């Protein structure tokens, strides 16, 4: 007698049935969402090309020290939110939490500091922060960013703002407001910090635990705290713009004049400091407001004149900004800002039988090479199913290759508007297709013209 098969335990059964899902804080970007993402990428790339910014791609994994030195050890990003781990070789690395330090690392590593200034770079791609996932927020998120390195003139600050506004306008995102401030430089900030510490020490009991710690490490960041009790304290705090040195004051005044010239409205926000240690002088953020007055942060940036030096290079001024692509895409979806539909193929290639499939591959390639968009379903053998698919995409012409056509080198051309069809030699099909498409386009133009006259 053979051995009886072992019965599956309930645990084994459950394990087999259990479906694997994405890791917490991660998600899939589905095909239905892709048109929004593609539209955003195209707009960003177009603005980059128009303003002469070159694309830079940098690794997802970087040394932890890059962000400890660049972003700041005491920032929430580095202190609480980084995906840190050790390699088998003992290196302390992390998944990149933001882009600017990586841009500067690449700028120095590859000798871009010898290029004519300013060096204009842009990037887009995934960033990672080990934050508690909330609705609409993920541990893997996407950003695009622009950086101009090597120029101290405030006109570059204005250009950054102008580019961001152009991107929002191109995407038809309305009611975008610009919040603006200056946080000074190493000349004027120490005296301002003393003034701020003196003010905050008297109100220490009213601060959150994080801000009590920041009072010793980075008091300026208390102005950026989102805790309600801290926000109440800083409302009456001394303002950075009232304590700028002459150089910072001149720089900020120039920026405001440039913005007035290009007619970009702005709101001066004394509490705006941004949450990263490398910022100097200009800081700004963009917000989109909905019909109910709720604001959604789109991104921001500012000047960082000391970061190149902090990361081992010569003293070099720089300015940049970054925006959250996820937030922009969500805004596009919420406001039904549908991207313009891509041109769909007007030719459908149908085939029946194995030999016909082989011939179809060649004809498909010839059509594509001639610049004719063509759709197909090579895996399907049923002609009715293929014709239904051609109808669905509103193809004007269907090219049919069966066993007979494959043997004698011909193609059946079916006009989907009239229903008529004829057999043509395969080597004449490109010329005939082009002629028919041109004729159909002319007829459509005449029809549209006639319709407009009636209206």
Per-residue model confidence as pLDDT tens digits over 46-96: 999 999 999 999 999 999 999 999 888 777 788 778 899 999 999 999 999
- Separation of first and last alpha carbons in the chain: 88
CA dihedral (156, 157, 158, 162) in degrees, to 10, reads: 90
Best-predicted range by mean pLDDT among 5-14, 113-122, 209-218?
113-122
Q: Answer whether residue 455 shows pLDDT above 70.
A: no
Which three-class secondary structure state does DSSP give residue 300? strand
Mean pLDDT rounded to a whole number for the chain = 89
- What is the pLDDT averaged over residues 189-210? 90
Query: What's phi and psi for 204, nearest 5 deg?
Result: -55, -40
- Tell me, which fold does domain 347-446 have in CATH? Rossmann fold (3.40.50)
Q: What is the pLDDT of residue 296?
A: 87
Q: What is the pLDDT of residue 14?
A: 53
- What is the pLDDT averaged over residues 410-431? 91
Q: DSSP E strands: which ranges in 332-379?
A: 347-351, 374-376
Q: What is the pLDDT of residue 454?
A: 62
Least confident of 265-279, 280-294, 436-450: 436-450
Best-predicted range by mean pLDDT among 140-144, 224-228, 235-239?
140-144
Q: What is the pLDDT of residue 300?
A: 96
Q: Answer whether residue 8 shows pLDDT above 70.
A: no
Q: Answer whether residue 6 shows pLDDT above 60.
A: no
pLDDT band at 365 (very low <50, low <70, confident <90, very high): confident
- What is the pLDDT averaged over residues 108-121? 96
Cα–Cα distance between 213 and 228 in angstroms, integer? Answer: 17
Residue 167 CB neighbour total at 10 angstroms: 24
pTM for the model stands at: 0.80
- What is the pLDDT averaged over residues 153-182? 95
Domain ranges of the chain: 31-188+244-334, 347-446
Given a contact cutoff of 8 angstroms between Cβ atoms, the answer to whether 318 and 149 are in contact is: yes
pLDDT band at 38 (very low <50, low <70, confident <90, very high): very high
Q: Answer whether residue 381 shows pLDDT above 90.
A: no
Q: What is the pLDDT of residue 295?
A: 85
- What is the pLDDT averaged over residues 161-167? 96
Instruction: Report the half-sphere exposure of 35 (CA within 13 A, side-chain side).
Output: 11
- 125: which residues sit within 8 A by CB, 6+ positions away? 57, 60, 142, 143
Q: Answer whether residue 395 shows pLDDT above 60.
A: yes
Q: What is the pLDDT of residue 128?
A: 94
Q: DSSP E strands: which ranges in 217-291?
A: 267-268, 280-289
CA dihedral (424, 428, 430, 435) in degrees, to 10, reads: -80
Q: What is the pLDDT of residue 382?
A: 80
Domain 31-188+244-334 belongs to what architecture? 2-Layer Sandwich (3.30)
């Amino acid at each position: 007698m053979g051995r009886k098969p072992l019965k599956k335990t309930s645990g084994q059964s459950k394990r087999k049935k259990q479906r694997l899902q994405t890791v917490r804080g991660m998600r899939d970007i589905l095909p239905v969402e892709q048109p929004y993402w593609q539209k955003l990428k195209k707009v960003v790339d177009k603005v980059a090309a128009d303003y002469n910014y070159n694309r830079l791609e940098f690794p997802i994994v970087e040394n932890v020290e890059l962000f400890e030195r660049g972003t700041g050890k005491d920032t929430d990003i580095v202190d609480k939110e980084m995906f840190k781990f050790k390699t088998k070789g003992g290196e302390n690395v992390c998944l990149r939490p933001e882009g600017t330090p990586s841009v500067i690392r690449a700028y120095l590593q590859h000798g871009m500091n010898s290029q004519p200034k300013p060096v204009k770079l842009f990037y887009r791609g995934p960033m990672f922060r080990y934050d508690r996932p909330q609705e609409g927020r993920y541990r893997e998120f996407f950003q695009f960013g622009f950086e101009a390195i090597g120029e101290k003139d405030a006109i570059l600050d204005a250009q950054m703002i102008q580019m961001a506004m152009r991107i929002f306008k191109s995407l038809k995102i309305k009611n975008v407001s610009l919040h603006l401030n200056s946080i000074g430089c190493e000349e004027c900030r120490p005296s301002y910090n003393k003034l701020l510490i003196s003010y905050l020490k008297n109100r220490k009991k009213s601060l959150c635990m994080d801000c009590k710690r920041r009072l010793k490490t980075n008091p300026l960041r208390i102005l950026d705290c989102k805790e309600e009790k801290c926000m109440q304290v800083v409302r009456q705090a001394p303002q950075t713009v009232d304590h700028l040195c002459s150089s910072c004051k001149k720089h900020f005044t120039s920026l405001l004049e440039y913005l007035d010239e290009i007619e970009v409205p702005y709101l001066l926000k004394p509490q705006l400091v941004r949450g990263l240690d490398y910022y100097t002088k200009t800081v700004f953020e963009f917000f989109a407001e909905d019909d109910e007055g709720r604001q959604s942060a789109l991104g921001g940036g500012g000047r960082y004149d000391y970061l190149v030096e902090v990361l081992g290079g010569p003293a070099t001024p720089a300015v940049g900004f970054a925006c959250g692509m996820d937030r922009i895409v969500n805004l596009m979806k919420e406001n039904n800002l549908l991207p313009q539909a891509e041109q769909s193929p007007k030719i459908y290639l149908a085939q029946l039988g194995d030999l016909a499939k082989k011939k179809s591959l060649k004809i498909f390639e010839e059509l594509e090479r001639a610049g004719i968009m063509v759709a197909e379903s090579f895996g399907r053998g049923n002609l009715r199913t293929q014709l239904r698919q051609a109808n669905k995409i509103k193809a004007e012409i269907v090219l049919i290759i069966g066993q007979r056509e494959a043997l004698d080198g011909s193609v059946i051309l079916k006009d989907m508007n009239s229903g008529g069809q004829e057999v043509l030699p395969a080597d004449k099909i490109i010329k005939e297709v082009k002629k028919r498409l041109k004729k159909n386009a002319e007829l459509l133009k005449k029809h549209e013209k006639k319709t407009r006259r009636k209206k």
